[in-house]
Structures are given as C-alpha cells and as structure tokens.
Amino acid sequence: MLAAMNAYRAAILRFDPAREPGRSAIYDEDGLLVVGPDANGMQVVQAVGSYQELRERFLGVPIEHFPGRIIAPGFVDMHIHFPQTNVIASPADGLLPWLENHTYPEEGRFSDPSHCAESAAFFIAELLRNGVTTALAFASSHPASVTALFARAQQQRLRLITGLCLMDRHAPAGVLNGASMDGRFDATEQSLIDSEALIGQWHGRGRLGYAITPRFAPSCSEAQLRGAGELAARYGDVWIQSHVAENRDEIEWARALFPASCSYLATYGDFGLLRERAIYAHCLHFDEQDRALMHASGAAAAVCPSSNLFLGSGFFDYTAADRAGFHYGLASDVGGGTSFSPFHTMLAAFYVGREGRSKQALSLAPQHLWWQHTTGAAQALGLAGTVGNLLPGCEADFIVLNPQATPLLARRTACADSLDELLFALIVLGDDRLVQRTVVSQALLTIPAN
C-alpha cells in the first residue's frame, strides 16, 4: 500500500466542516499531505497534518518538498459558461443587452464541432491554470458543445458537471435548440431527448456529472420546463443548473411569462426543478419566502460577485441567506464575470459583503471567503467530503501556491502576522500567478476511452 503513495511537504490549508466557516481553517506551517489510491483506484488524501507528527508513519513514501509554498484545496467554481470564454470583458448596459449583443452571437458559433473542441481545450486549461479542479459549467444549446467539454475534461481529469443548455424561445435562431435533422421531433422534444441521451453517455463516468440546464425560465417554454422537471425526477442524482433573480428587468419578464407562480424562483419549483443538487446562479432579489423555499427544497445558490458588480445586477445578501439556512458557494460566472481566477472572485465577494457593512462581518472573514470557493461550494453541490477540502478521503485535488509570486505579494505576505492576514493578502493581491501547480486526482485504474 505504501508503495502506491506520494507525499507533499509544505504549509497546508484545509477546513474543518464542523466549525463556523469564518473560523474553520486548519493550517500547518510545516505540513505533510499523503495521497494514495482508495478501493476504486482514485487518488485520495490518506493523511494530512504536521510533518513532524506524520513522517514516521509514512517512512519510505516519496516526499516532494515545496519550501515556502502553501498547499490548499483545488477551487470549486459553481457557475461558469464554457461558450462565453470569448465574451469575457464585453461592455454592455446590463444583462439583457449584454446577452443580445455579445453572448448570443458568440454562443451561436458552437454549432461548429471544431470551434467546440478548440474552445474546450482552452477553457479546461484556463480553469486548471487558475487552480479550479471542480466546475459546474453551462454548455451551449448544441449537443456538440456538451460532448466536446466532457471529452476534454475527462482527458484532463477535471471534475466537471455540465449539460445541454435548454432554450426554445426568446433568442435568435442560432442559439435556440434545434429540431431533429429528419424533422421527426420539434426543437423542444429534441432538446429533452438529447439531454437524456447525454445523461446516459456521460453522467457518473469517472469524475463527470450531468446537469439538466434550462438557461432561465424566460428562455424556456412551459413544455420544455415540464420535460426538464420530468428528467430531474427520473434521474435523482443528476444536477440541475439555471439562473434566477439576477436583474430587475429579467424578474419582471419572468413574472409576466409565468403569472400563475408565486415568484420567479417558485416558477422553477412549480416545474419540479427545485431540489437538492439544483444550483441557481445569482439569487439576488429574493424575499423571505424565496429564501425559505431555497432552504426547504435543498436547492443552493451560486454566488457570482464579479459578474453582479460588472453587470450592475445587485448584491447577494449573505446575512439573509445564513438566516434562512440555504447552501451557497462562489462562482466566476465567466463571461458575465470578469476573471477565471478564484482570487478575483473572492475579492469581489468581499466587496459584495462589504455593501452590507457590519451586518455581514462574518462573510467578510478571509477564511469564510476561501471556504465559499472550496469546502462550502462542494457542500452546496452535494460533494462534501469528496472535493473542496483536504481531509482524509477527499479526492486529491490541490494547488501549490507561491506567496512570493510577485514582488508585492512577497513583501506583503512576509509581514502577515496571522493566518487571516496571510489569506487576505493572497485574496486581495492574488491571481493566476500565485498558482504554481494544480494537481488533480487521478484514477489509477484505466477508464475506458469514449
């Protein structure tokens, strides 16, 4: 058994899931992370703790030493759009004009499988370069985009959840779901047939998972939402992802289209799309009833602070979310979001929390910000104990951070007096240059090629 193990020596950060997130970090200045295969051949954490305490137990296990570096859990991005990689940094007046002028024209290009493959290679590489090892991603409305993204993630061993974007109305023809080639099925029916086929092909295969993906209620007919809900009931361990309550105009539109529902969020519930493993991006303009519905249904929020600031959409209310008790975690929301870097997203979350001032003091804590992008996000996805942490049994996804990556980082982190000061300096000053290496868990057993 020892022969199949590897160990890594550095400062090590991880989180105690039993503690209040803002005070949950566990940090060994001189730590050892021991990694080895579990019963299924996946590389998982076998032991973690102080180097002095663990080294005797693992004599003979090869140790890679990273002096002056920090090992931390790989980041979990709860909401990102694969076909919007080229849309990042597009100027717009708000959500709806941004969709129309920038996003839809680019997403239309994903009808071309070669554009899908080239973009998937870049997208997965960019996630890994930024230290993201688990992502819940939107694909486009073209099945080729889903296939290309899954195939590339499998090759690079990223833990990826994605699905076919469901949209059968209120968008240009090039981004709507298409009818079957032989004309036997209409676009709505075909989108549901395609979703189910993709679940069968990819869900649970290695580290991949499928998400039923209605873009947002205004882009889906009642028949499409109903079909999505039926799939969600039939495949209970498949994820659901969509958007809700991002922007006032969008909310008004959704309310006009579905007047029978109590709220925009309740529309999803009425179609069977609120349950555990259902992840809703934004969740900004909620009332107490919406928050109670999130909690009761087990759905979780993907908080997208850089996107919300960029598009002027609003501020996620951490205090109200904690009071209602529903799960949430951080997400980049590229291309509405402004960076693939979890450091930028954590800093944006700090700004958003700051908007609530002292009321939201706990969510401003550096440990809480970091937790939201790792352990907290994993918990919100239903993957607690699997990813987002470095406790024994977790998949061995980790990053090696170099606090000397830039002159200013080196200078500032050298005079950090506490763990919170160190983490906050990394959050505020950090970007992809901090991430020296990203390691993803490997299956030692061969996964059959697709």
Question: Residue holding tokens 């890679």?
Answer: 64
CB of residue 77 to Zn ion, shortest distance in Å: 11
Per CB under 5 A, the segment of 48-56, 274-282, 420-428, 432-440 that binds Zn ion is 274-282
CB of 135 vs Zn ion, minimal distance in Å: 13
Is position 245 an interface residue for Zn ion (rule: CB under 5 A)? Answer: no
139 touches Zn ion (CB under 5 A) = no
Q: Which of 44, 95, 187, 281 binds Zn ion (CB under 5 A)?
A: 281
If the CB atoms of residues 81 and 327 are measured against Zn ion, the closer one turns out to be 81
Q: How far apart are the first and last CA of the chain?
A: 30
423 CB-near residues (< 8 Å, 6+ apart): 13, 25, 366, 367, 369, 370
Does position 405 interact with Zn ion (CB under 5 A)? The reply is no
Sign of CA dihedral 226, 111, 133, 399: negative
Cβ neighbours of 228 (radius 10 Å): 25
Strands (E), 321-397: 327-330
Binding window for Zn ion (CB under 5 A); candidates: 85-93, 281-289, 338-346, 388-396: 281-289
User: At its nearest, how many Å lie between Zn ion and the CB of residue 83?
Assistant: 11
The residue (of 167 and 281) whose beta carbon lies closer to Zn ion is 281
Q: Is 347 in the site for Zn ion (CB under 5 A)?
A: no
Write b or e for each residue in 17-41: b if 16 or more Cβ atoms lie within 10 A of its Cβ, otherwise e.
Answer: beeebbebbbebeebbbbbbbbeee
The site for Zn ion, by CB under 5 A, has a size of: 2
- Smallest gap from residue 244 Cβ to Zn ion (A): 10
Give Cβ neighbours of residue 389 (< 8 Å, ≥ 6 apart): 14, 15, 17, 73, 374, 375, 378
Identify which of residues 11 and 136 has a Cβ nearer to Zn ion in the complex: 136
Q: How far is the CB of 333 from Zn ion (least distance, A)?
A: 5
Instruction: State the DSSP code for 245.
Output: S
How many angstroms separate the Cα of 424 from the Cα of each of 25, 96, 290, 405, 419? 13, 34, 32, 15, 8
Nearer to Zn ion, 231 or 334 (CB): 334
State both tokens at 430. 């950090």
Tally of residues, the chain: 450
Quick one: 31 or 83, whose CB is closer to Zn ion?
83
Cβ proximity to Zn ion: between 54 and 161 the closer is 161
Site string for Zn ion, 315-334 (x = CB under 5 A): ------------------x-
Instruction: Provide, rounded to whole angstroms, the least separation between the CB of residue 309 and Zn ion.
Output: 14
What's the min distance (Å) between Cβ of 216 and Zn ion? 9
Residue 256 C-beta: closest distance to Zn ion, Å: 21
Residue closer to Zn ion, measured from CB, 98 or 271:
98
The residue among 83 and 353 lying less far from Zn ion, judged by its C-beta, is: 83
d(CA 389, CA 33) in angstroms, rounded, equals 12
**Distance separating alpha carbons of residues 373 and 392, to the nearest angstrom:** 19
Contact stretch for Zn ion (CB under 5 A) within 25-33, 94-102, 279-287, 313-321: 279-287
Nearer to Zn ion, 99 or 257 (CB): 99
Least gap, CB of 153 to Zn ion (angstroms): 19
Is residue 308 within 8 A of residue 342, CB to CB? The reply is: no
> Does residue 28 bind Zn ion (CB under 5 A)?
no
Instruction: For residue 412, count other CB atoms closer than 10 A to its CB.
Output: 18
Tell me which residues touch Zn ion (CB under 5 A).
281, 333
